[in-house]
A and B are shown apart, each in its own frame.
Chain A
Amino acid sequence: MPLIENGHPVEDRFIRVGDDEALPDGAAVLIGVDRFLKEAEALRGRQAPVGIIWPNNRPIGEIEPFLGQLSLIALVFPSFRDGRAYSQARLLRERLGWKGPLRAIGNVLRDQFLLMARSGFDQIEPAKEADAAAVDEAMETYTVFYQPTADGRPSLLRQRLGRVAAQE
């Protein structure tokens, strides 16, 4: 399954490693939160990038002490109807200042791609092949947005004001 980054297919350089598998030397790895917390000290000295899968039922604030040693954060949608990771994503971007890659994994479907992008995800791991091919279409479904988020898109409240100001 291709990985989408900022709307484009990219190669996934992170290897997903299970809790009881050995970490491959020198390779970027994506590991679960339990293993990460248990091995955090040892991982601090690792020479290759480490990414973490943070579950959606764990307060995202707890990740803060570890941000400096992470190269990727993956947030989970167990079902597309479970929207907890949207809040986690915004908090990571807007509160905790996470600038690195933020990946949506799990039951990730095209009708939610744009919501994910607006919430701060820059990487999307689509659950369906066909959805990956439709990423441009999905991202362009809307051109106007009512509310501000940290995705940089102008919101209507501000645009309207700008328009009123320009007319005066």
Chain B
Amino acid sequence: MYVYDEFDRAFLAERTAEFRDQVGRRLSGALSEDEFKPLRLMNGVYLQLHAYMLRIAIPYGTLSATQLRRMAHVARRYDRGYGHFTTRQNIQFNWISLQDLPDAMASLAEVGVHGIQTSGNCIRNVTTDQWAGATPEECDDPRIWAEILRQYSTLHPEFTYLPRKFKIAITAADKDRAAVKVHDVGLRLHRNEAGELGFEVLVGGGLGRTPFVGKSIRKFLPARHLLSYIEAIMRVYNQFGRRDNIYKARIKILVHEIGAETFAAAVEKEWEAIRDGALHLSDEIIADIRARFLYPAYETLADQPAELTEALKDPAFATWHRNSVTTHKQPGYAIVTVSLKPVGAPPGDATADQMEVVADLAERYGFNEIRVGHEQNLCLPNIAQKDLPALWRALEAAGLATPNVNLVNDIIACPGLDYCALANARAIPVAQEIAKRFADLEKARGVGRLHINISGCINACGHHHVGHIGILGVEKNGQEFYQITLGGRADEHAQLGTLLGPAVSYEQVPGLIEDVVDTYMELRSGPQELFVDTVARLGIEPFKERVYAAH
């Protein structure tokens, strides 16, 4: 965990006071709604279909038990008893009334949690690998660098009124769990041949109505130059990004229109002028931030303890263990993914009771730490293997041990027309219906890793372009229709899915998805060939023929 100090707390108190004053001026009429809107958005307050929505940042996906418990309290006291975890390491409360907002925010601020820069045309919550600090795959803890960026970007005077929102993601592992190639800036932390830490810098990735995979503009940026290089990118974007059309204002359009090489040249030129200035990260500064991350006091334990070996004789536990438990860098420990995708429930929702259960379990077994991943699941990153059986029983009792992580019913979905003012179609009920078709987890396991992503409009909050199967809701003559894409992926081999064919009606979607999956099962070279690899090998034609013949 990163420990806030008196500076962070002073800043947060000042921010809370500022927003209270702004709300007061809005109510008195001193601020028009037009003037107030960007201010509330930059504090995470949206106006949704039915109510105000409060989006809270979970910086780099790390939460303490105390913080999660406070979120449960807010869900129960000010909302309808649940919260919704998003694809960007945020949590949203969808039913808070305007008059309760300042109190809910103050309650969260007491535990260092806030909605600052979770919306608005500014640098958003920096996201990273939910296994950071725990996985043996990483070359460094990416949260150190996410925290440096969080501090740098918080109320940045130059970059608070950008052309459009700006999202940065970092991975420090070769297996990219942070989807860095579909962010405005993606940072791949790695070591060069000399063993020095640095970043590959990608720009101009993103989804929405004009999706792009990010372009690499620098293969290796020494880590000490991170802030000056980001500042150079932001400065070029802030001056030259389009402001005439909201749909063309993201950095991806600028990079696309002038070309990645021209963009990179402009960034390098700007960077040359500032690289050794005030933003240079000295070893002392990096060490200071690094020292503020506290790591668990791991015990010396062996892998595969007797408690675990014994429990694995229970097939139900063994199934969950195979699906939801991952290798930890520390012997005798494990990383546990907590599925928020029980079959038939809205993806990413957690009730206040469930949040409290996870907070309790994190305290009892997990050094107080909880993570949130972009797949809308939770994670307990530091669990002793000997405690896994007891942890599983407690999760199971709370409906949090569905062994479907990465399976066909571990669906990513945006809130869609059930909540969102922008949506054209429902997303959550589509996810629920598909999940039911694969409710037999034996069958789902047979299918293997398959990511279904659903968005209720072209803004693509459900990341449909990079789903192995992507589902996009559109509106045609007042009716909900859905476009299906195949073969997208958000990992280190990121690519956008290919359109399968004409859009189908709401009722047809679950059957069509079943047909796609059946086709894959017939065509795959063997159980080791994942869905996305079969699509890559054969293209979409065989799927298209089969599916549209049936419908």
Contact = CB atoms under 8 A, between A and B. Distances in A.
Contacts, number: 97
Nearest to B231: A147
B158 A164 contact: no
A119 B243 contact: no
Interface of A: 59, 80-84, 86-88, 90-91, 95, 109, 111-112, 114-116, 118-119, 130, 141-149, 155-157, 159-161, 164
B157 A156 contact: no
B162 A83 contact: yes
Residue with the highest number of chain B CB atoms closer than 10 Å, among A86, A116, A145: A86
A80 B161 contact: yes
A87 B274 CA distance: 13
B309 interface: no
Contacts of A156: 7, 151
A114 B157 contact: yes
B273 A81 contact: no
B238 A87 contact: yes
Given A147-B157, A160-B7, 12 more contacts: A84-B238, A84-B239, A109-B35, A114-B157, A115-B158, A116-B157, A119-B158, A141-B14, A141-B18, A142-B18, A161-B284, A161-B288
Interface in B274-302: 278-279, 284-285, 288
B42 to A, nearest CB: 10
A157 B161 contact: no
Contact of B30 (A82, A88, A130, A144): A130
Contacts of A91: 235
Nearest to A150: B278
B5 interface: yes
Given A144-B7, A144-B10, A86 B38 contact: no
A84 B235 CA distance: 9
B161 A83 contact: yes
A166 to B, nearest CB: 13
Measured as residues with beta carbon below 8 angstroms from the partner, the interface class of chain B is 35 or more
A81 B238 CA distance: 12
Interface string B138-178: 00000000000001111111111110000000000000000
17 contacts: A81-B38, A83-B162, A83-B238, A86-B159, A115-B155, A116-B157, A119-B157, A141-B18, A142-B155, A143-B10, A146-B11, A146-B151, A148-B278, A149-B157, A157-B151, A160-B288, A164-B288
Given A83-B160, A87-B239, A142-B155, A111 B285 contact: no
B239 A160 contact: no
Contacts of B243: 82, 84
A153 B361 CA distance: 44
B5 to A, nearest CB: 7
Contacts of B279: 147-148
A146 B289 CA distance: 13
B121 interface: yes
B14 A142 contact: yes
Contacts of B10: 143-144
A74 B153 CA distance: 26
A159 B7 contact: yes
Contact of B159 (A59, A83, A144): A83
A103 B316 CA distance: 69
B254 interface: no
B292 to A, nearest CB: 9
Contacts of A161: 284-285, 288
B158 A146 contact: no
Nearest to A131: B30
Contacts of B161: 80-83, 86, 112
